[in-house]
Structure 1
């Protein structure tokens, strides 16, 4: 499968990448609408859990519907390690799919804005979007990077597990729990953030949204605009998207792809000496 993806025509990768971005963004829309005021009724923990459950729709559509998602494609590193595909082919796939995902996510963010869905429940949906985006650009570089690692570790585990499943129901179950975990824990997904943060930027100047956001920020609507000054395109790219993307690559390519390759796919004659020595140490420890 990795080899087939690296040889896919540009048009196919572009369209399937745009669709994947749309699917993740639609799941983000659903999550925002469902949880816009849920925490006040069930508490923060359960609200996060439900948010993760409904957000699982995104990867379900990608895996079962068939699309190209950058974060899942970080697993292509296993094909490179096996020598079946070249690093240039991996880089080509990642680059095309990443920017295609961006186009799809931005498209749904724009549709979300134009649709007026954000006005639902007295603009609480819009306020949820803005506060979510503001929280994401407020992370430090280290926080964004580490949350990106943890996120795609779980996302790629979901892809890895679902690939071993033979039927649709099994695939869905393999996807739902890891995705729910990363959302509930507040980890960072680069493609999802291509929807969440631009949506917040588009909505932050809406008077109805500011009126709802202001009390949460402990200020008036005019003060809320100042408090949201960091929510802009520059912060989106440099304070969130770049560190989260790097973290996503590390989480998927290293902690899932490389680790599993080193155990199950790498020729035994080439096993790292470190692992051999570690195994010998454990053997001596438990046999003496």
Structure 2
């Protein structure tokens, strides 16, 4: 076969967890910044492409295409090489198999999460400085941020679970492909699913919400967005945390429990010799 079987995927995930656990802090910071930036690029691409698309092909079609273009972020992470916190929620499979310790994995998560935040904010700020948001794109970007920041905590948490169940599966099946084209196809369809469904991704939200906070300072953008007062007020540091905390926790549950733990339970006898 020209792809890895599910058992081979579980074994590869263990080996990958061991390698990720060995990264130095500088390596994790650089690779994490790159991943945050790559996801932000996907988010910006989605905003540009879909800001008026629903008027022409309907909301469902707009979400579908938005998911397709957003996938460029994870494609860059997987193929170019970068460290993404949400994808690394697969790493506990390595701890359960004895390839890495949870303390090593927690160390990776901490530094990668911080670096993802830095990379996301960096791209958001560069886009703001570029002025490319001027006009209807900026108003749409502010609406995206406001909708996320005003989301109830419970809904944000469960949308986070659903999101990273799919995202980690995208990482998982991308490892099955043995060529670049195969990896791209393995990534695109799951990412299309999570974006079109309206699930919540913590690293993408770092970018979307920070750009929204920057845009809120522009009166023209605020006027064009025509947001209800409550939603506009949610675009703030408090609103940022109100979304990011439950979404991050939900992402962890989705990736760790529904992919790493479940596949370990299925293949644990095949992983006993992996170290």
- Fold match (TM-score > 0.5): yes
Inter-CA distance 105–268: structure 2 relative to 1 (3 Å threshold): closer
The separation in 1 between residues aligned to 2:237 and 2:76, in whole angstroms, is 28
Give the structure 2 partner of residue 176 of structure 1: 188
Which of residues 192, 207, 216 in structure 2 aligns to 1:204? Answer: 216
Report matched runs for 1:85-104 at 5 Å.
85-104=100-119
Q: How far is the alpha carbon of 1:211 from its aligned partner?
A: 2.4
Give the structure 2 partner of residue 241 of structure 1: 244
Report matched runs for 1:21-170 at 5 Å.
21-119=36-134, 123-170=135-182
Aligned residue for 1:182, secondary structure, equals helix
Which of residues 256, 261, 265 in structure 1 aligns to 2:264? Answer: 261
Aligned residue for 1:166, secondary structure, equals coil
Inter-CA distance 93–268: structure 2 relative to 1 (3 Å threshold): closer
Instruction: Answer yes or no: is the 8 Å Cα contact 2:85–2:113 preserved in 1.
Output: yes
Instruction: Answer yes or no: is the 8 Å Cα contact 1:158–1:178 preserved in 2.
Output: yes
Which consecutive residues of structure 2, in runs of 5 or more, have no partner in the other structure?
A: 1-15
Which of residues 231, 249, 253 in structure 2 aligns to 1:250? Answer: 253
Q: How far is the alpha carbon of 1:265 from its aligned partner?
A: 2.5
Aligned residue for 1:68, secondary structure, equals coil
Which structure has the greater CA radius of gyration?
1
TM normalised by structure 2 equals 0.91
Instruction: Answer yes or no: is the 8 Å Cα contact 1:129–1:200 preserved in 2.
Output: yes
Aligned residue for 2:56, secondary structure, equals helix
Give the structure 2 partner of residue 231 of structure 1: 235
Show CA shifts across 1:181-205 (max 9, x none).
Answer: 0000110000000000011111013
Aligned residue for 1:15, secondary structure, equals helix
Which of residues 29, 48, 51 in structure 2 aligns to 1:14? Answer: 29
Inter-CA distance 86–268: structure 2 relative to 1 (3 Å threshold): closer
Instruction: Answer yes or no: is the 8 Å Cα contact 1:127–1:209 preserved in 2.
Output: yes
| Structure having greater relative contact order (Cα 8 Å, sep ≥ 6) | 2
Q: How far is the alpha carbon of 1:212 from its aligned partner?
A: 1.2
Instruction: Answer yes or no: is the 8 Å Cα contact 1:149–1:249 preserved in 2.
Output: yes
Inter-CA distance 51–268: structure 2 relative to 1 (3 Å threshold): closer
The separation in 2 between residues aligned to 1:248 and 1:233, in whole angstroms, is 21
The separation in 2 between residues aligned to 1:36 and 1:116, in whole angstroms, is 16
Give the structure 1 partner of residue 13 of structure 2: none
Moved beyond 3 Å, runs of 4+? 224-227, 266-269
Instruction: Answer yes or no: is the 8 Å Cα contact 1:82–1:266 preserved in 2.
Output: no
Q: How far is the alpha carbon of 1:266 from its aligned partner?
A: 4.3
